Amino acid sequence: MSANGKPKGVDISIVKLVPRSERKVAKKYRQRIEASLRAVGLIEPLIVFPLDDGYEILDGALRYRILLDHGVETVPCLIHNVRDGFTGNRMVNQLSASQEMRMLRKSLEELDEKTIANALGMQGIGHRLNNGLLAKLHPAVVKAFNTNKINLQTAKELTNVKEDRQHEILKLMESCNDYSTTFARGLVLKTSANKRTKANGTKTPWSQSDEKKSQLLKKLQDAEQQQDFYSGLYRQYTTNLLKLVIYVRTLLNNPEVKAYLQTNHADLARVFEEILESTEG
């Protein structure tokens, strides 16, 4: 287990894995799981429990058998610290929308959509690729979504404003280090009418109740005040640092003062020299 109490993810040699139990499954079911593994890889890691010199598989015995038959040497696993009373459904590894999208696009490099859809038991995967959504976003926002910096809901919120405003909002989110949907929605809500996109009959942030809009704007105001505080603090720190450098340089440029410091306060003289070296370097 990791420090935060969540299962720890590790790659484990398949020879160290032992199924807790075996169960018979229909041939068709095994074939579907096998097709999914071939098409898109292992989406859900095996859940294991440390036992003797190896690991007991609490969830994923069928996937383990298939991987073993295909000669896979290492398997992504989540190490669970409770053996008895384990419930597999609570441990399912959920992919984010952007992670799933990247996985599907990677699969499309080798397989067609129909094959992937059949492997996943879907009628199609077009809706999972989010092509329509990405076409409405600024390139920088697309990159933020693809790298999992912003989530799917936040990306959808940003489509309510034009691309240049999307970029402005993303920069504000980065400066505040706040990528939450609530923060994005508040910034969208403050957008002037000339930077909004057409509603086309869909519900927009501006159509919400006055109370809800007020709550969002209050959260946004708090975040902006916090950002102003830290920006001011950084400016003051920079000013103080500049003053210190000027003072130290003045001291060390005086041969008598420098000689005195080196003779009587060698450690302090060395610190002053390191300050100048770091700023000039």
Spans of the chain below 70 pLDDT = 1-7, 39-40, 43, 84-100, 103, 118-122, 127, 200-213, 215-217, 219-238, 279-281
Domains of the chain by residue range: 8-90, 96-129, 131-208, 233-278
* Cβ neighbours for 63, distance < 8 A, ≥ 6 positions apart: 33, 37, 42, 44, 46
According to the CATH classification, is domain 8-90 in 3.40.640.10?
no
pLDDT, one tens digit per residue, over 65-114 is 999 988 889 988 888 887 765 554 444 444 566 666 776 777 777 777 77
List phi, psi (to 5°) of 161: -125, 160
| CA atoms in the 13 A half-sphere facing the CB of 234 | 7
Q: pTM of this prediction?
A: 0.45
Question: What integer pLDDT is reported at residue 161 of this predicted model?
Answer: 92
Distance CA 224, CA 173 (A): 10
Do the Cβ atoms of 80 and 58 come closer than 8 Å?
Answer: yes
For the chain, the DSSP string reads --TTSSPEEEEEEGGGEEES------HHHHHHHHHHHHHH---SPEEEEEETTEEEEEE-HHHHHHHHHTT--EEEEEE-S--TT--GGGG--PPPHHHHHHHHHHHTTTS-HHHHHHHHT-S-SHHHHTHHHHTTS-HHHHHHHHTTSS-HHHHHHHTTB-HHHHHHHHHHHHHHT---HHHHHHHHHT--GGGBPP-TTS--GGGS-HHHHHHHHHHHHHHHHHHHHHHHHHHHHHHHHHHHHHHHHHHHTSHHHHHHHHHH-HHHHHHHHHHHHHHH-
Do the Cβ atoms of 98 and 146 come closer than 8 Å?
Answer: yes
